[in-house]
């Protein structure tokens, strides 16, 4: 009987492979190695459940070609994941969240990782390749009742994962198309990728551009709503894993490994945000200070790297706006950060995140015209950089309140176009933002249906 024509779907694909598993096999007993692989399988499945259980993805079913698809397999030291939903941008965000959660969970909860850290050795990592492309949904040759995805895009993803073993930072490599799609939807800096060059991959014709995740910043510390990519809220209770952080910090201090520094910063910054929301400010300050020290160490070790300078700017920004630090410290921090950010902007004129933070610091030092020029420049580069509209509105408050309200209306429309209700929430947030404290009455009068 002739087989049916395969169903084609646009999907985002991930391969994850344990690095160093052969070393574990040679250094441990057979039983211990089996337990090591079982731990990987458990971690992979736990992350699948945490990220995707609350969503509408379903397992392959050729009788329902339009349903949102999830397919995963775990064989030995390798995991394979394919998702195809109604929106490719959402799929990519979900895959990134899964990849980050997988790597963080493996680092924090795997006994072999913690053991190696205590021995001052680099922990065994997971190599990850991510790609977006079309897959065919075909009958499973081993079980006619099931179907599986296959195709060139999957083969390419596997090759990308193999290449990610050469990583310098995170070990998460993505394809050019995945990078371009994410870049088109990303707002303020959340994930940063760096092109690692053009390469040829075994079995793949032509040269391929690949990008490595070099930095992730999951949230501003005091936001009430985490972005969709935030994996730290899925880690569970702080009490369950925070005791393992000192081992990672100790290894980081000896090696200045930027990826480990990045993980520690995100976890403890998340903790600081939770404490700020509870108004436990002294405890929050302790964690913010730890983030600041890690950022400074990485800046000093790589003075040309703009990423950590922007990250430090965000941390100091939260010192100033949330912690209400004393005025003398406030002025010193602003002065130092403005000087540092101006240097970043001068050397990296296309770095929009650096421009945004420099503009925000200009606002807090009442240099509104310079701030407005920076925000306008950002929008010339990227009209979808919605945060710039918000701060342009703030820059008009001192001279033209009517114009400020007009810009807020524009801001509300832009944010609502990105996500329904997002613009309304943004307007409500202005009432707790010190930048807009002189405009509270005007905002309430201009948006009466929101208050």
Span of 8-22, 126-140, 176-190, 340-354 with lowest mean pLDDT: 176-190
Q: Say what the pLDDT of residue 74 is.
A: 92
3-state SS string for 215-265: EECCCCCCCCCCCCCCCHHHCCCHHHHHHHHHHHHHHHHHHCCHHHHHHHH
- pLDDT above 70 covers a percentage of the chain that reads 85
Q: Are 357 and 345 in contact (CB under 8 A)?
A: no
* The two structure tokens encoding residue 143: 């079980």
* Residue 319: predicted pLDDT: 65
CB 5 within 8 A of CB 151: no
So what's the pLDDT on residue 133?
A: 93
Q: Which residue has the higher pLDDT, 7 or 228?
A: 7
Contacts of 138 (CB under 8 A, 6+ apart): 3, 6, 147, 148, 149, 150
CA Rg, the chain, in Å?
24
**Higher pLDDT among residues 298 and 141, named by residue:** 298
Identify the pLDDT of residue 188.
42
How much is the mean pLDDT over the chain? 82
> Minimum mean pLDDT among 24-28, 218-222, 245-249, 369-373: which range?
218-222
Show the tokens assigned to 133: 């492309």
**Among 250, 12, 240, 259, which residue's Cα sits nearest to residue 132?**
12
Predicted confidence at residue 121, as pLDDT, reads: 82
- What is the reported pLDDT for 224? 44
Taking 80 as the threshold, does the pLDDT of residue 398 lie above it?
A: yes
pTM of the predicted structure, to 2 decimals: 0.79
Locate all alpha helices (DSSP H) within 53-186, ordered by sequence: 88-109, 111-118, 152-163, 176-185
Judge contact between 369 and 337, C-beta under 8 A.
no
Residue 172 pLDDT greater than 70, yes or no: yes
Q: Which CATH superfamily is domain 7-216 in?
A: Nucleotide cyclase, GGDEF domain (3.30.70.1230)
Residue 395, pLDDT score: 93
pLDDT at residue 266 above 90? no
């Amino acid at each position: 009987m002739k087989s049916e024509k395969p169903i084609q779907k646009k999907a985002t694909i991930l391969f994850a492979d344990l690095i160093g598993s052969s070393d574990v096999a040679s250094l441990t007993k057979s039983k211990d190695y089996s337990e090591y692989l079982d731990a990987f399988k458990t971690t992979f499945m736990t992350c699948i459940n945490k990220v995707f259980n609350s969503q509408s993805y379903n397992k392959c079913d050729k009788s329902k070609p339009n349903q949102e698809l999830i397919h995963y397999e775990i064989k030995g030291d390798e995991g394979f994941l394919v998702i195809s939903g109604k929106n490719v941008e959402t799929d990519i965000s979900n895959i990134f969240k899964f990849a980050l959660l997988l790597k963080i969970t493996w680092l924090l909860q795997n006994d072999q990782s913690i053991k190696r850290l205590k021995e001052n050795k680099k922990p065994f990592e997971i190599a990850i390749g991510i790609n977006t492309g079309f897959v065919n949904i075909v009958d499973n040759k081993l079980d006619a009742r099931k179907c599986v995805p296959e195709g060139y895009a999957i083969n390419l993803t596997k090759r990308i994962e193999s290449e990610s073993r050469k990583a310098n930072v995170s070990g998460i490599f993505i394809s050019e198309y995945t990078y371009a799609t994410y870049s088109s939807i990303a707002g303020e800096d959340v994930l940063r990728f760096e092109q690692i060059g053009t390469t040829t991959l075994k079995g793949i014709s032509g040269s391929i551009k690949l990008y490595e995740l070099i930095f992730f910043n999951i949230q501003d510390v005091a936001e009430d709503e985490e972005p969709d990519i935030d994996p730290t809220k899925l880690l569970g209770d702080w009490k369950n894993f925070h005791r393992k952080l000192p081992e990672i910090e100790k290894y980081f201090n000896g090696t200045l490994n930027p990826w480990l520094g990045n993980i520690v910063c995100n976890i403890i910054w998340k903790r600081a945000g939770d404490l700020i929301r509870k108004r436990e400010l002294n405890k929050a300050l302790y964690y913010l200070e730890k983030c600041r020290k890690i950022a400074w160490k990485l800046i000093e070790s790589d003075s040309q790297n703009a990423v950590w300078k922007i990250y430090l700017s965000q941390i100091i920004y939260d010192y100033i706006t949330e912690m209400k630090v004393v005025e003398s410290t406030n002025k010193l921090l602003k002065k130092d950060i403005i000087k540092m950010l101006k240097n970043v902007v001068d050397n990296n004129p296309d770095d929009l995140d650096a421009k945004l933070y420099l503009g925000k610091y200009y606002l807090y030092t009442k240099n509104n015209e310079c701030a407005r020029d920076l925000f306008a420049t950002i929008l010339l580069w990227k009209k979808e950089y919605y945060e710039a509209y918000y701060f342009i509105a703030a820059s008009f408050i001192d001279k033209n309140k009517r114009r400020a309200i007009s810009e807020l209306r524009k801001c509300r429309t832009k944010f609502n176009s990105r996500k329904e209700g997002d613009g309304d929430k943004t307007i409500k947030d202005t009432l707790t933002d010190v930048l807009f404290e002189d405009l509270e009455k005007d905002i309430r009068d201009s948006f009466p249906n929101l208050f």
